[in-house]
Structure 1
Amino acid sequence: MEVYYSKSAKDALREMTCKLIEVMRAESDNIPFNLALSGGNTARQLFALWQEEYRLLIDWNRIRFYWVDERCVSPEHEDSNFKQAYENLFGPLGIPQTRIYRIRGEEDPSKEANRYSELIDQQLPKKNDLPHFDAIILGIGTDGHTASIFSSCHFLLNDIQIYAVSKHPDTGQLRITLTGPVILNDTPLLIPVIGEDKRKILERLLEARTATEDFPAACIVYRAASAFVFTDITI
C-alpha cells in the first residue's frame, strides 16, 4: 500500500486522477480501458472535479465504465450510484450509453448479480482465469467496509462469484457487489479517503498492517498487488 497525503480534498483527488492517467498511459491505446467506479460522497466530488478540470485531459473515448457495487434501487433513486455518476459525470461529458454498463439495481438482486457477473465475464480480458479490470476505484466506509463488503458478510472477500448480493448491517438495504477475488486480481486499486470523518478508519487501516477479514478494507488493501490511498487527512 502506498499512501499519498495532500493538503485538501481536491488535491488528493487530483493526485489520484494523475495516477489513473498514469495507469491508462501504461496500457495500449488500441484497446478499451475497463474502469470500475464506486459511489458515495467522495465519488460525487471526484466526478465534479473530472468534468471541471479533466474534460480534455483524459481520453474518455477509451474508457468503458462499470461499477464496483450498486444499491438495489431504481436508477432514478437518490441512493443510486448510477444516478450519481450520470448526473455528475456522464451527462455533463456526453458519455454515450454504449460505454456505460450499469448494475440494474431495480431488478431481482440475485438474478441481477448473476447477469452482471456473466456480462463482466464475457467482456473483460482474463488474468489468472478471472476477469481483469484495468483499474478499480474503491471507497472505504467509516465502519471499514469497502465495495459493499461489510464485516457482517466478510465471506464475500473470498466468494467464487464475480458479483454477489450483500446487505447493509444497519439499514438492511440490499446491494450488489464485486467480490474479493476479482478486486484482488492484480488490478491497481485507487482508494480516496477524504474528510475528517474518515480519520479514525484511516488510522485503523494504517495500524492494521495486515489482512484481517473482520476489517474488509484492510483485507483488500493488504492483499492487493498494488493499492494507492489518497487522503487529505494528516496522520
Structure 2
Amino acid sequence: MSSKPGSGELSVYATVAEAQAACADFLLSSLADALSASTGRVAFAVSGGSTPRPTYELMSASRAIDWERVDVFFVDDRCVAPEDKDSNYKLVMDSLGAKVPVRVVRMEGERKDREAAAAAYAKALPRRIDVMLLGMGPDGHTASLFPGHASLASHARVLFEAASPKPPPERLSLGPHVIREAGIVVMLVTGKDKAAMVAKARAAGSIDEVPARLARDGTWFIDEAAGGGSSES
C-alpha cells in the first residue's frame, strides 16, 4: 500500500489485525523519514486504548528505527497514577516504551492541580509533533476532545478535561491546534460501531459536532467493519 501523509487517504482492510499491521508499517516508515530529514530528535504522539496496542507491539520489533532519537508524547491520558490499569502511559510502556530505547514523556495527570499538570505538559511539548497516531470513538471524539465541549474552541496546547462522558471523567488532552499542526497525522479505527462516524468524520463539517474531523486530511487505516463492509487497500 502507498499512502501520502496529509492526503486524506483511506485504506480499508479485511481484518482488524491487517489494519493494525499496515498502520504499524506506515508509522515506522513515517518515523524513519522524519529521522532522515533531521539531525535532531523526532516527536511521536501516541494514543491509548486496545486498538493501537498490537500496532505498538509490532513497531517494537523493528530495529530499523533509531529509537534513541525518538521522543514519545501522549495525545491524551486519564488523570490516574502511571501504574493504573486505565493509564495510557502504562499501556504504551508495556507495548512499546519498555521494549525500545525511546524517551517517554508522560502526562502527570495524577497531580492534584490538573491545570498545572496541563501547563507543564504544554511546556514539555516540542514546537510541532512529527508523527501522531489518533483513534476515534463511536461518538466521534478523538484524543479527549468530545463533541460539544468547550475545549474544542480552546487555543491551549494541552487541556484539562474535567467531565469526559467516558470514565474516568478527568483527563489531559492535546488541544485542537497541536493536532492540526502535526506533521503526519494517522487515524486507526476498527469496529462496526464506528462505521457511520467514519463517514461523518471524513466529510466536511464542524469539529464541534465530530472532533475526529481534525484528522480528516490525515492518513486513515480502518477495518472492513468500520468501513461499512467494503474492503480496499
Do both proteins adopt the same fold according to a TM-score greater than 0.5, normalized to the shorter chain? Answer: yes
Change (3 A) 1:79 1:172: closer
2:212 is matched with which residue? 217
1:157 is matched with which residue? 152
Runs of 5+ unmatched residues, structure 1: 125-130
SS of 2:83 mapped into structure 1? coil
Task: Provide the rounded CA distance (Å) in 2 between the counterparts of 1:77 and 1:132.
Answer: 29
Answering whether residue 31 of structure 2 is matched by residue 36 of structure 1, we say no
RMSD (Å), alpha carbons: 1.9
Task: Provide the rounded CA distance (Å) in 1 between the counterparts of 2:64 and 2:191.
Answer: 26
Q: Is the 8 A contact 1:10 1:49 kept in 2?
A: no
Task: Provide the rounded CA distance (Å) in 1 between the counterparts of 2:31 and 2:73.
Answer: 16
1:144 is matched with which residue? 140
Change (3 A) 1:214 1:31: same
Task: Provide the rounded CA distance (Å) in 2 between the counterparts of 1:86 and 1:21.
Answer: 17
2:106 is matched with which residue? 102
Q: Which amino acid aligns with 1:146?
A: T
Instruction: Please state which structure has a larger fraction of its residues in helix.
Output: 1
In the alignment of these two chains, the number of paired residues is 215
1:228 is matched with which residue? 219
Deviations 1:99-140 (A, max 9, x none): 1100012112111001111111xxx2xxxxxx2110111110
SS of 2:120 mapped into structure 1? helix
Deviations 1:134-189 (A, max 9, x none): 01111101111001000141x32331211011121254611000000111015211
SS of 1:151 mapped into structure 2? coil
Q: Is the 8 A contact 1:158 1:181 kept in 2?
A: no
* Higher alpha-carbon deviation: 156-165 or 135-144: 156-165
Moved over 6 A (4+): none
Task: Provide the rounded CA distance (Å) in 2 between the counterparts of 1:164 and 1:33.
Answer: 23
User: TM-score w.r.t. structure 2 length?
Assistant: 0.84
Q: Which amino acid aligns with 1:227?
A: G
Change (3 A) 1:68 1:198: same
Task: Provide the rounded CA distance (Å) in 2 between the counterparts of 1:21 and 1:172.
Answer: 31
Q: Is the 8 A contact 1:192 1:229 kept in 2?
A: yes
Aligned-pair identity (%): 27
1:205 is matched with which residue? 201
Q: How far did residue 29 of structure 1 move?
A: 4.8
Runs of 5+ unmatched residues, structure 2: 1-7
Change (3 A) 1:100 1:26: same
Q: How far did residue 10 of structure 1 move?
A: 2.3
1:10 is matched with which residue? 17
Query: How is 1:187-206 mapped onto 2 (pairs within 5 angstroms)?
Result: 187-206=183-202
Task: Provide the rounded CA distance (Å) in 1 between the counterparts of 2:94 and 2:29.
Answer: 26
2:55 is matched with which residue? 46
Task: Provide the rounded CA distance (Å) in 2 between the counterparts of 1:204 and 1:186.
Answer: 22
Q: Which amino acid aligns with 1:200?
A: A
